[in-house]
Structure 1
Amino acid sequence: MVENLSLFNAEAPKPKPAKARISLRDYQEEAVNAVLEGWTEHDSVMITVPTGGGKTIIASSLIGERLEHGRILFLAHREELLHQTVDKASMVLGDIDAGVVQADLDEHRAQIVVGSVQTLSRERRLERVLAYGDFATVIIDECHHATATTYRKIMDRMKAGKPGGPKLLGVTATPDRADKVGLMAVFEKIVYELGIFDLIDRGHLVDIVAKEIEIDGLDLSGVRTSRGDYVASDLSRALLENHTPEIVAKAMHELIPERKSIVFVPSVAMAEETAAAIREMGIKAGFVSGGTPKDERKQILEDLDSGALRAVVNVGVLTEGFDSPSVDAVVMAAPTKSRTKFVQCIGRGLRLNPGKEDCVVLDLTPNSRTHELQSVPTLFGLPPKDFKKKSLRQVVEQARMDIKAGKYTGDLKITDLGNLRKQRFHWVTLPNGWHALPSKDVTLILRYGGVTPMGVPGWEVWQVKGGQAERVREAVPLEYAQSGAEEELRNAGSHTSILVQEDAPWRSGPASEKQLSLCRNVGTVANRDKAGSTSLETDST
């Protein structure tokens, strides 16, 4: 039994040298190769990879490829993104000479400069960075912002993306802009594209369950629009007049009471009212906005991560640079016309986490739905009625069968309907909080312990085989540990075991007499109802 191995004891065996902390997923390698090939013909290229797909991991790998050519500048517009980039680059590349240039931080002599756009758009700060050596590569994170004057000022001074200047790469979750300003004025070619469903289908993001919150009397036709989206003050007024905070809180209590949720709203006033309404429904909730002190915001998000809070209402601060894989519900209480914003928001709940099967997305539905209003069905070009009882994967699977039968008539916006589906694995959470993936020949364990390159505790991957426990991956954040463990399972050839398959028929079918007998032998009472479903409880006798 695995439980008797020394892995579970206080004194674990001395580990053998571990493999690299982060290894690229298949599509990440595809993206890296596409960029390198694109740079042979173009000076500026762009890739689009969904939130949760590891854009920074891809960029970090490219940094490693380009360091021999000269210094690297990585541009971002949020403080959280700057420090995340340094942390993730360290996981991919090991010890690196990386420095942050932002406000009072001035590590401008580094080989890899991770810089704030707001800071480097100031001539004095940019010239200080450039004076220490030329740059061979410029990478822009969330590059749908790259048409802004601040970005253009930096790129023009450096001649980034121009003949003779540094190579330029833009990375984003979506190349769309609500204000219709074209990114192709900055980037010559999109060399790699991957959509949300592509990663769901490959097993790298969780499935989506879409539900609607109907708001009687809500009419958005009179709400002003600016730069392609609703004016926040007008939108907030319309929502508050229709008692949206109370309606949202009630829907969360009825539909997702046990889920860990983030709620998007258009104003601070609505955030305060919504958080209060959610708390009145018995759900522990907090709220953050741009005006929340940094230490307070950090504590609130840590409380969400730990489970001390079940919901956090936010005003535009969690759309970018926020990673909490355990979040499994997103409430869009800020209707939007912006596809970019919608994709970023729902992406916050799609990251993998052991035991997490899907993410519920709650959408507000006004009286008169317009084709401009974003929702899960419109995002993928699927009829809203199809989501009444099905998840996104199930809806698309039905569309696949209808297309094959020649009877599909919808407006599907998913480009590849081939049989891409990569197997999803069923993780088991152990009593000590670790996670196990048991198969016939080998068991992979995610063990909390060790220190990540960021200097904080992380999760190691251990392999139990033939009665021996061996660490095979060093400490990284949980979602990367899970991905690495699943890769180890595939490499070991054990991924076909029905013990690990998330959708194995035996999980949903009635328990066999042999399974029931096993339960009785280990002191567990198995009760089978008339429908054949089996529930387990500990035998207290």
Structure 2
Amino acid sequence: MFSPSKRCLRTLRVAVYNPIFAHPNPIRITWLPQNYAGIVRKYTSAVKLRPYQEECIEACLSHMEEGKKRLAISLATGSGKTVIFTSLIQRVPSPSKDATRTLILVHRSELAQQAARHCKSMYPDSTVEIEMGNHLASGFADITIASVQSLISKNRMEKFDPKRIKLILIDEAHHAAAPSYLKILDYFGAGSSDTNTYVVGFSATLSRLDGLKLGRAMDYVVYHKSYLDMIDVKFTSVKSGVNLSGVKKAYHGDFQLDELSKVVNTSAANEITVRAWLDRASHRKSTLVFCVDIQHVQDLTNTFRQYGIDARYITNNTIPRERQDLVQAFKKHEYPVLVNCGIFTEGTDIPNIDSIILARPTHSRNLLIQMIGRGMRLHNSKADCHVIDMVDGITKGIVCVPTLFGLDPFDLVENATLKDLEKMVQERAQENEQQGSTPTHLNNLRSTLIELQEQVRIIYTDWSSVRELIDDAKNMNIQQMSRFAWTVIDETKYILEIIKHGFIRVELDNKTGTYYGTYTADLPSFLKVPWMNPHIKRTPKQLFKDVETLEQAIHAADSFARKECPRILLERRAAWRSKGPPTQGQIEFLRKVLKDETFNGRNFTKGQAMDLITKMKHGFHSVMAKSRRELKRKSRQQERELKQAEKEQLKIEKMQKRLRDEQQRQEQRDNVQVGPLTI
């Protein structure tokens, strides 16, 4: 019987399985012997894609055929992004004869090693190299996996010929709007939509907490897959009693880690976390725990060990070899609890994780989804994943499991089904619409929770499945979104006034339901003198548009302001805002706009006076006028209703008098006395 040689097999793999490399005489399956064709099919189907993975690849290819170059793909964590983009490499057409190579951008060592393993497995005849740290690529490999930070340092990017790159793949593409990524795209000629190089970005969270526009790196979202198609997940939120109300935010909008650690990393909180795991997840084989910082990791690990639980930890200080050994042992179920901080939020290939503990509170929806996503991967050792969320029970605006569903963080549910959760969401919405405020029973529930928290009692909220993740960021208070001195003009308009610079305006577009932002620079001093042209106007500069949530819009505006202006002019808590009374100029301006010559600013600070001036300059007076008109209208309506009521009351009183008179007459007629009749 005919038996092909190893050399012949390599030729077949190049010709059929790996068509990105030219071959002078490509071999077709049709003329091969039956057994030989079977060998070829073995190689061409080495990786069997799931239906949605094939759909994703087809969506990319169809948009490429339409001439679109920079594509984004939104895939839930655990959907096999690495398998998809490695499979995509051989199917993306070369834009030119010389452009046959692929560049994969990552930002972490684990992501690079994972991508390299997949590429070497799928393309055994291709050269695969890594450009990261001490690993130096030649610049001539068929596939190069590169760390973003390494690629932009010390001219390491210059050894790559942009004309030879046909495809740039970006893993965790929600980082792609960062300057480091944009610098790389510009070098390879992919900095704009008219590029000849294909760019495909993959992420489970195609948004950024700091508000930077991802449209600078990618143009089209061509495919989306939600968590519902991955694996069943169960949620338990734990009211641990930790008070985060005094924890400040960092510039990117999330908690400052040092302050957060002081509040979260306490013996009482760690004790509750371990007790929650013992109560709800001790039967689980592989639990991944997310902490705030290294000290929190070590302390919580020790608390687990005090209860006799074999818990181990990995941090940035863990040497690579030890880290690999710990991960491999965890994959083999040699110990049940792995504790970390910031290591396994992205690109972690540990599919056996069947339980997640979120001991790290966050304001970031993206970070929360990334942490939950670590347990969403399919594995034959588990049927679902149990997420235990150690949420804060006091702070407003925190993103936790309940708020992702659109529920109040204080809502308690035991063993709720999906329909129960939907019903709760609808009931809360109806109550808020009818009452115009927080329902009384929820206020009572808050009081009860505070009492229970003082008793250090663990309160559980269980969900059995996930329908969709609903972001409640639109309802967050403006002061929780930003540290800067934003002024609320009305429910759709927000102004950040910057002394001697200008102002930033964020406003809701009522037509699209999205937010846009503009920056209007202050006029130069020489144009403000009385004898210059009074009709010179400032032209606003558009910063962004079509932003879905107010939180994202505010963060985008903050990112711009931080680059343009000194922070002392932006901070809401800057010392100059709270020290000293208003200036004479502020007082005179407010006297004019308020039409009150007696105003002296006695109870105002400089910052408060500036806020009031900002309100008046940007339309708050019209809001006040509208409010006054509304009050007058209501007053007139009340007067009319009162007069009508008085008329109705008079009618009732007259009718009652007639009835009384008629009754008296009737009683007189019916009054019969015994005795002589009078004439």
Normalised to the residue count of structure 2, the TM-score between the two structures is 0.53
The match for 2:152 is 121
Match of 2:68 in 1: 42
Aligned residue type for 1:224? K
Q: Which letter does structure 2 place at the counterpart of 1:221?
A: S
Deviation at 1:284, TM superposition (A): 0.5
**1:195, CA displacement in angstroms?**
1.7
Q: Does 1:112 align with 2:143?
A: yes
Find the aligned partners of 2:236 and 2:154 in 1 and give their Cα distance.
49
1:381 to 406, 409, 430: 406
Shift of 1:358: 1.4
Which residue in the other structure is 2:223 paired with? 192
Q: CA deviation at 1:113?
A: 1.3
CA contact (8 A) 2:61 2:92 kept: no
What is the distance in 1 between the residues matched to 2:469 and 2:368?
Answer: 19
Deviations 1:134-173 (A, max 9, x none): 2111111111111222111111111115324412111111
Cα pair distance change 1:161/1:38, threshold 3 Å: farther
Q: How does 1:408-447 map to 2 (within 5 A)?
A: 414=468
Pick from 149, 153, 157: which aligns with 2:187?
Answer: 157
Shift, 1:409, TM fit: 5.7
Contact 1:286–1:312 (CA under 8 A) maintained in structure 2: yes
* Number of the residue aligned with 1:499: none
Matches of 1:344 and 1:365 in 2, distance apart? 16
- Quick check: 1:250–1:281 contact (8 Å CA) kept in 2? no
CA distance 1:90–1:388, change in 2 (3 Å): farther
1:95, distance to aligned residue in structure 2 (A): 3.5
Secondary structure of the 1:66 match is coil
The one-letter amino acid of 1:24's match is L
Quote the Cα distance in structure 1 between the aligned partners of 2:58 and 2:406: 30
User: Residue 148 in 1 paired to residue 173 in 2?
Assistant: no
Q: CA RMSD in A?
A: 2.8
Q: Tell me if 1:209 matches 2:234.
A: yes
CA distance in 2, matches of 1:150, 1:350: 30
Q: Which residue of 1 aligns with 2:90?
A: 64
Deviation at 1:328, TM superposition (A): 0.6
Match of residue 277, structure 1, among 287, 303, 317: 303
Structure 2 partner of 1:26: 51
Shift of 1:206: 2.2
Tell me the alpha carbon deviations over residues 271-293 of structure 1, each in whole angstroms, 9 at most, x when there is no partner.
Answer: 10100001111210011111111
Q: Would you say how many aligned residue pairs link Structure 1 and Structure 2?
A: 386
Alpha-carbon displacement from aligned partner over 1:76-123 (angstroms, at most 9, x marks no partner): 011111121122234445543322111222232101111111111125
Q: Report what 1:220 is aligned to.
A: 244
Q: Equivalent residue for 1:79? A: 109
Give the AA of the match of 1:262.
L
Task: Tell me the secondary structure at the aligned position of residue 177 of structure 1.
Answer: coil
Q: 2:77 aligns with which of 29, 44, 51?
A: 51
Amino acid in structure 2 at the alignment position of 1:344: Q
The one of 345, 352, 368 equivalent to 1:342 is 368
More contact order relative to length (CA 8 Å, sep ≥ 6): 1
Query: Residue 182 in 1 paired to residue 207 in 2?
Result: no
Percent identity (aligned):
29
Q: CA deviation at 1:238?
A: 0.7
1:187 corresponds to which letter in structure 2?
M
Report the CA distance between 1:355 and its aligned residue. Answer: 4.3
Distance change in 2, residues 1:60/1:180 (3 Å): same
Take 2:380 and 2:244, find their aligned partners in 1: how far apart are those partners? 39
Q: Distance in 2 between matches of 1:379 and 1:276?
A: 31
How far, CA to CA, are the matches of 1:207 and 1:80 in structure 2?
A: 26
Cα pair distance change 1:79/1:378, threshold 3 Å: same
| Equivalent residue for 1:286, pick from 304, 312, 325 | 312
Structure 1: stretches of 5+ with no match in the other structure: 1-15, 200-204, 417-541
Say whether 1:364 aligns with 2:390: yes
* Matching residue of 1:234: 259
Partner Cα separation in structure 1 for residue 414 and residue 420 of structure 2:
14
Deviations 1:414-433 (A, max 9, x none): 399xxxxxxxxxxxxxxxxx
C-alpha contact 2:237 2:402 (8 A) present in aligned 1: no
Structure number with greater Rg is 2
Which deviates more from structure 2 when the two are superposed, residues 162-171 or residues 359-368?
162-171
More helix by share: 2
Alignment partner of 2:280 out of 255, 265, 276: 255
Instruction: Check whether the contact 2:391–2:400 (CA below 8 A) recurs between aligned residues.
Output: no
Cα pair distance change 1:191/1:264, threshold 3 Å: same
Match of 1:515 in 2: none
Give me the whole-angstrom Cα distance separating, in 2, the residues matched to 1:407 and 1:343. 26
Aligned to 1:96: 126
**CA shift in 2, pair 1:193/1:380, >3 Å:** farther
CA distances 1:476-521 after superposition (whole Å, capped 9, x unpaired): xxxxxxxxxxxxxxxxxxxxxxxxxxxxxxxxxxxxxxxxxxxxxx
Q: Contact 2:356–2:385 (CA<8 Å) still a contact in 1?
A: yes
1:194 and 1:32 map into 2 onto residues whose CA distance is: 13
- SS state of the match for residue 252, structure 1? helix
Structure 1 residue 365: Cα displacement? 2.3
Per-residue CA deviation, residues 288-321 of structure 1 (Å, 9 max, x unaligned), is 1111111121122222112221101101001112
Q: Which runs of 5+ in 2 are unaligned?
A: 1-37, 433-465, 471-679
Secondary structure of residue in 2 paired with 1:374: coil
Deviations along 1:41-96, whole A, 9 cap, x unmatched? 43312111011001111111221112644211110011111121122234445543
- What SS class does the counterpart of residue 106 from structure 1 fall into? coil
Distance 2:380 2:406 in 1: 30
Indicate conservation of the 8 Å contact 2:405/2:469, yes or no. no
C-alpha spacing 1:256/1:155, structure 2 compared with 1 (3 Å): same
SS at match of 1:60: helix
Normalising by the residue count of structure 1, what TM-score does the alignment of the two structures yield?
A: 0.66
Q: Secondary structure at the match of 1:301?
A: helix
4+ aligned runs moved over 6 Å, structure 1: 399-403, 410-413
Structure with bigger strand share is 1
Matched, 1:307 2:361: no
Looking at structure 1, the residues matched to 190 and 257 of structure 2 have their Cα atoms a distance apart, in angstroms, of 35
